[in-house]
Amino acid sequence: MRTVRDEAFEVVSRLDMGTIFANPGSTEVPMLTDLPDDLEFVLALHEASVVGMATGWALGRRSPAFVVLHTTAGLGNAVGALATARVNRAPLVVLVGQQDRRHLALEPFLTGRLTGLAGDYPVSVEQPLRAQDVPGALARAWHTARERRGPALVIVPMDDWSAPAEDSGVLPAATEVHRATGVDEAVVGRLVEVLAEATSPALVVGAGADDRATWRALVALAERLRCPVRQESFGARAGFPQDHPLFAGHLPAARSRLRQVLAGHDVVLCVGAPVFRQYPYEPGPLAEPGTRVLLVTDDPEEAHRSPVELAVLGGPGEVCARLAERVPARDVPMPATHRAAPPPPPGPSEPLRAAHVLAALAERLPADAVVVEETPSTRPDLHALLPARAPMGFLSAAMGGLGFALPAATGLRMARPDRPVVAVVGDGASLYAIQSLWTAAHYGVGALFVVLSNGRYAVLDHLARGHGGGKPPWPGFAEISVRDLALALGCPASRPTGHAELLGILDDVVPGLADRGEPLLLDVPVTVDPTFDP
């Protein structure tokens, strides 16, 4: 007798979701025991790590990843990571186990009130009315996650898996869904008209422009306009080659500084980026009066909330390629851009700073390396010293919550074993998802984890000092050894004690990163730069 489980796994295999990221419980045992040979199970030791790994995998593959969570506890633990996946535009199919359907009305042990637990962050939530509707619900979730680029939840009672499959001859859901694409030449014409009239245009790019075709189109457009290109603030991915002569750095996240950067530009075209992402609130406009702001994005929510003169919903690559063909070339000098110089090596008694570590990585990493960032107190140094030189060369948590980099780097390396993957993480951030190192070690994931250990929450300390010189009530945690935690989880780890030892390890490890078959964590003691300003 064919069961609902048999048909559901057929759907999972057909949709190329053969890697299952999970931290299961009793309500998922009927589904997961004796998996078919074509499905691979990846265990993580906490649900936030499960979703973080799946997020990295989905972004690396550009295809929905399959996640299994355990009823209320599992989904509740994963909500923050699901929010990050949504803002990072990561397509996930998230199956949440539920108690036996036959006595749900009595609310037995492990019953979950699940439909609203993740709030507004899922792009869809479905609890099939019948067991036989589960395969179709999984297929619909795959299409929805892919179309809306976020987590789609399916809640499945544990007894549904053994129920007989329906033999109706009707497909459970659409086999394929394709969105017709095209570029409205009239709308492109409006953008061309504004750009052609500009005396000092600028481009702002974001995560929505992070693919090879869009990079190519944006380079052609920027060179035709001879204008500077800046990356959105807190961008989760790079929208432009950051080693290009026209790349002018990252936008600041405060309005007064943003206005200074955009001052003098009469037209700002934003591509795949929100207008404009901020962090501390400041009164006043985003740009000076007289600056016209335009947007090209394929994200309807981004288009609807952006305060712009014209928002164009469409594929950024296709629109920018048309613009590069039609915008008149500007006969003006190329704008001068500034590149941060690496710091000089530390003296014999000088402590290591994060910039020393980042400069050492920059000298050694190949152009196709992926840098996964979660180091709030040293992010400006990382942006300045480690430019993204290839699409998917940079990845960060768009939501801002900690606990992303270790699992995301693990999942990304699983999805893209052809790319060297390096996570640069603060020690405070690493502790939110330290369990991920066990998964990386157990499954032979060859990522390099560089932990910048200053023994404190440096960003919070800085913010407290800036808040009227207030004294933070939280202590440091310098007594924690991230290296020892990694070793306890089975992950190879080292704690270099100086610049020379660090360089020796990197010279030994980095050339073989692309072929590495086990993780390595470097727990690098660093001092906080006294000039740090987030």
Average pLDDT (364-384) is: 93
Helix, coil or strand: residue 300: helix
pLDDT in tens, 280-308: 778 888 888 889 999 999 988 888 988 88
Average confidence (pLDDT) over 366-377: 94
Q: Distance between CA 264 and CA 58 in Å, rounded?
A: 40
- What mean pLDDT is predicted for residues 26-54? 95
What's the pLDDT score for residue 532?
56
259-267 average pLDDT score: 91
For the cut 60, the answer to whether the pLDDT of residue 101 exceeds it is yes
pLDDT of 177? 74
The reported pLDDT for the residue numbered 288 is 83
Percent of residues, the chain, with pLDDT higher than 70:
97
- Cβ pair 40, 20 in contact under 8 A: yes
- Start and end residues for every CATH 3.40.50.970 domain found in the chain: 4-162, 354-525
pLDDT tens readout for residues 205-251: 999 999 999 999 999 999 999 999 999 998 899 999 999 999 999 99
CATH superfamily of 4-162: Thiamin diphosphate (ThDP)-binding fold, Pyr/PP domains (3.40.50.970)
Query: Tens digit of pLDDT for each residue in 515-525?
Result: 999 999 999 99
Q: What's the topology of domain 185-326?
A: Rossmann fold (3.40.50)
CA distance 410 to 448: 9
- pLDDT on residue 254: 85
What amino acid is encoded at 97 in this protein?
A: G
- Give ranges for CATH 3.40.50.1220 in the chain: 185-326
Per-residue model confidence (pLDDT) at position 166: 84
Distances (CA, A) of 249 to 41, 258, 324, 398: 41, 12, 22, 18
Taking residues 47-72, report their average pLDDT: 96
What average pLDDT does range 343-366 have in this prediction? Answer: 92
As given in the structure block, the two tokens for residue 364 are 């050694």
The more confident residue out of 484 and 337 is: 484
First to last CA, the chain: 61
Q: Using the predicted structure, report yes or no on whether residue 7 has a pLDDT greater than 90.
A: yes
CB neighbourhood size of 61 (10 A): 17
Give the rounded percent of residues in the chain with a pLDDT score beyond 90: 72
* Euclidean distance between CA atoms 357 and 424, whole angstroms: 10
Residue 143: what pLDDT?
A: 94
CA 459 to chain CA mean position, Å: 21
**pLDDT at position 453:** 93
Q: What number is the average pLDDT over the span 403-416? A: 96
Model pTM score? 0.93
- pLDDT confidence of residue 59: 96
- 534 has pLDDT over 70: no
Average pLDDT, the chain: 91
Q: Which CATH superfamily is domain 354-525 in?
A: Thiamin diphosphate (ThDP)-binding fold, Pyr/PP domains (3.40.50.970)
What angle do the packed helices 405-415 and 47-61 form, to 10 degrees? 40
pLDDT of res. 472 = 78
pLDDT at 150: 96
Q: What is the pLDDT of residues 160-211, one digit of tens each?
A: 999 999 876 666 777 777 676 778 888 899 999 999 999 999 999 999 999 9
Q: Which positions ≥6 away from 446 have C-beta within 8 Å?
A: 413, 417, 421, 513, 515, 516, 517, 518, 519
- Structure confidence at residue 530 (pLDDT): 61
Distance from chain centroid for Cα 268: 25
